[in-house]
Structure 1
Amino acid sequence: MGSDYYETLEINRNAADADIKKAYRRLALKFHPSSNRETGSAEIFSQLGEAYDVLSDPCKKATYDKFGEEGLKGGIPPECGSSGAWSSKYAYHGNPDKTFRQFFGGNNPFTDFYINDAPLQFGGLQLIEVKTQDSHIERDLHLSLDDLFHGCTKKIKISRRVMNEDGCTSSIKDKILTIDVERGWKEGTRITFPKEGDQGPNSIPADIVFIVRQKSHPLFVRQQNDLIYKAQISLEMALTGFSVEVETLDGRLLTIPINDIVHPAYKKVVTGEGMPLSKDPSQRGNLIITFDVQFPEKLSTERRQLIKQALTFKP
């Protein structure tokens, strides 16, 4: 009686290609002579190689399914085939290690065998894998100054390749990553999602790293934990005093009196009205007000004289 390749691989005749691969993977590892010293394991390993060699090839499999081992190894007569000629006879090359290496890849197929990131063990033999992780993937996370002041939650959809249950094929699937933005995060803050990159049979998925990029704001410029606000004032205001109104990021309106003479290097520091500190959001940086003094474009002779008199200091 001829060999039953389906029985050898412990699958039924309706098995899909993925089932054939999965069955061969499991049994070839079990009966490989390097890991199984029991009597008869080498013969079983050879039978597995031949069964997989036939059933993994669509043409060989179709011939075997229709004409059995005799038709496969003896050739198909013209009246049975469609080409009008005898089909070629099949003969297994007789090297199950070759089939094993072609299936797993590489001259040392045991280097890539891991289950749940732990090395496979066959009897007393532990197989050590050198498994590398793909380089991390960086993506920019653009956030407004308001996002970084108040904190928020961002949901980002990624598409990545994931391995199917058969362990051999893969498909593209979407996944939602959730980022809880903390108050006070700075430009360049990195958020890492370990092993969320593309999956592969012989590698560790890459980490995905999101890097905070702060959007510009119409009123404030951020410097570390401080907020810089520039007020435009007239020369008269710079010399005689005034008040500045600033609407804060949390919606309050601050009225800040300026009683000093505003010279080119002058700054007004309002303590505790800047950005929250990321390590302690109850503490905040400062609001620093700078000034852009608008000088008059023209002065009449009379006004020039009045200004001269006003600025003439007598001891």
Structure 2
Amino acid sequence: MAVDYYSVLKLSRNANPEDVKKAYKRLAMKWHPDKNPVDNKEAEAKFKQLCEAYDVLSDPQKRQIYDAYGHDGLNSGDFDVAPRSDPDDIFAEFFEEPNNNWQRAFKKTCNGAAASGRSHKSGGGKKAAAVESKLVCSLEDLYKGARRKMRISRTVPDNFGRSKTIEEILKIDIKPGWKKGTKITFPEKGNQEPGNSPADLIFVVDEKPHDVFKRDGNDLVVIKKLTLLEALTGTLSNLTTLDGRVLPIPVRDIINPGHEEVIPNEGMPISKDPTKKGNLTIKFDVVFPSKLSAEQKSDLRRVLGEADN
């Protein structure tokens, strides 16, 4: 468990700033390395805790956040707080002689504590490999654009290097025209190991198959089935676009199997310039009857034969 900074300085929670200073000075003299045997790990740990406790409780903003949210509030990144105080500034507040052994030991120990805090909070060592995750999007979202809120969980070290899990909600604005494979990077939003910088978190766009449209780059393709009668005599059908408009598709001429029609500017938006779009290609699939009666065959011979003549 994280230490209680008030307990570290042996203070009540209503202690005033002067109480904080006096408690720190008194306890720092007791636990300073110069006052304890060499390599006394307990004394070193106690002294580091004193540095941290004084840094937080002597700063009104940090103290307010700590009182309300504890260590998690200080480490969350949700609040704009000042960085850890420079040990030289803390030293100058309490000790007048600039070159004694006490000062050198104080600076060495607090510098270690500050460096430890920096590495735990923001890294500084090598950076872990980026973590990739799929962002599955409908074709409608990639056509019109959308906003997604992604809840993520990641592990980060606390002030003492122990791993803890935090949750965040990331907002992703899906731009019209984005393609499968588009990457959205959130720097340093991945997991973090003690002493290292957090990994980047990358979302990779994946396109969900559509029931009607198939995407081909910036173009859209639709398969339109026609009966043989419609292919020969014409018809009028409607196509609902990805943004909900109704697009009429008239068939006036005889349609041969494999015939295609291209409608300009009805494809996908072009991501670099969403005011422009690709084309919509309609591929006609003429469905022939599986069988004809003798009467139907006779009628066809008569009608088509007359047409040939």
Task: Please name the residue that 1:134 is paired with.
Answer: 128
- Aligned position for 2:229: 236
User: 1:197 is matched with which residue?
Assistant: 190
Please state how far the C-alpha of 1:54 moved relative to its aligned partner.
6.8
Cα 1:162–1:302 shift into 2, 3 Å: same
Give the aligned partner of residue 164 of structure 2: 171
RMSD over equivalenced CA pairs, Å:
3.2
Deviations 1:158-185 (A, max 9, x none): 1112232x34333211111110110111
Counterpart position of 2:150:
156
SS at match of 1:141: strand
Cα offset, 1:205, TM superposition: 1.2
Q: What is the match of residue 293 of structure 1? A: 286
SS of structure 1 residue aligned to 2:191: coil
CA positional deviation for 1:207 = 0.8
Q: 1:49 to 1:256 in 2, by over 3 A?
A: farther
Query: Is 1:263 matched up with 2:222?
Result: no
CA deviation vs aligned residue, 1:269-304 (integer Å, no higher than 9, x gap): 111111111111111111211222221222122321
Instruction: Tell me if 1:147 matches 2:144.
Output: no
With the length of structure 1 as denominator, give the TM-score of the two structures. Answer: 0.59
Q: Structure 1 residue aligned with 2:213, among 212, 220, 230?
A: 220
Match of 2:297 in 1: 304
Helix, strand or coil: the match of 2:40?
Answer: helix
In structure 1, C-alpha distance between the alignment counterparts of 2:259 and 2:212, rounded to whole Å: 19
- Could you say if the C-alpha distance between residues 116 and 308 of structure 1 is closer, same or farther in structure 2, counting changes exceeding 3 Å? farther
Unpaired runs of at least 5, structure 2: 1-7, 12-27, 47-111
Once residues 130 and 170 of structure 1 are traced to their aligned partners in structure 2, the CA distance between those partners, rounded to angstroms, is 17
Residue 143 of structure 1 aligns with an amino acid whose one-letter code is: C
Provide, for residues 138-171 of structure 1, a one-character-per-residue CA deviation record: whole Å limited to 9, x for no partner. Answer: 111111111111111101111112232x343332
Runs of 5+ consecutive residues of structure 1 not aligned to the other structure: 1-10, 15-26, 32-42, 58-109, 118-128
- Cα offset for 1:305? 2.8
TM superposition shift of 1:199: 2.0
- Decide which structure has the larger Cα Rg and report it: 1
Which deviations, in whole Å up to 9, do the C-alpha atoms of 1:100-139 show, x marking residues without a partner? xxxxxxxxxx9xx68868xxxxxxxxxxx99321111111
2:258–2:285 CA contact under 8 A, matched in 1: no
Output the amino acid matched with 2:174.
V
Change beyond 3 A, Cα 1:48–1:236: farther
Aligned residues: 213
Between 296-305 and 189-198, the greater mean CA deviation after superposition: 296-305
| C-alpha contact (below 8 Å) 2:126/2:196 kept by paired residues | yes
CA–CA separation in structure 1 for the residues paired with 2:45 and 2:196: 25
Cα deviation per residue 1:9-33 (whole Å; 9 max; x = unaligned)? xx7589xxxxxxxxxxxx9xxx9xx
Q: Distance in 2 between matches of 1:213 and 1:167?
A: 39
Question: In 2 relative to 1, CA 53–115 (structure 1 residues): closer, same or farther, beyond 3 Å?
Answer: closer
Structure 1, 255-264 or 212-221: larger mean CA deviation: 255-264
Quote the Cα distance in structure 2 between the aligned partners of 1:293 and 1:286. Answer: 22
Q: Normalised by the size of structure 2, how large is the TM-score?
A: 0.60
Q: Where does residue 41 of structure 2 map in the other structure?
A: 52
Q: Quick one: percent identity of the two aligned structures?
A: 38
More helix per residue: 1 or 2? 2
1:282 aligned onto 2:275: yes
* Offset of residue 234 of structure 1: 0.7
Verify the 8 A CA contact 1:231 1:244 in the aligned structure 2.
no
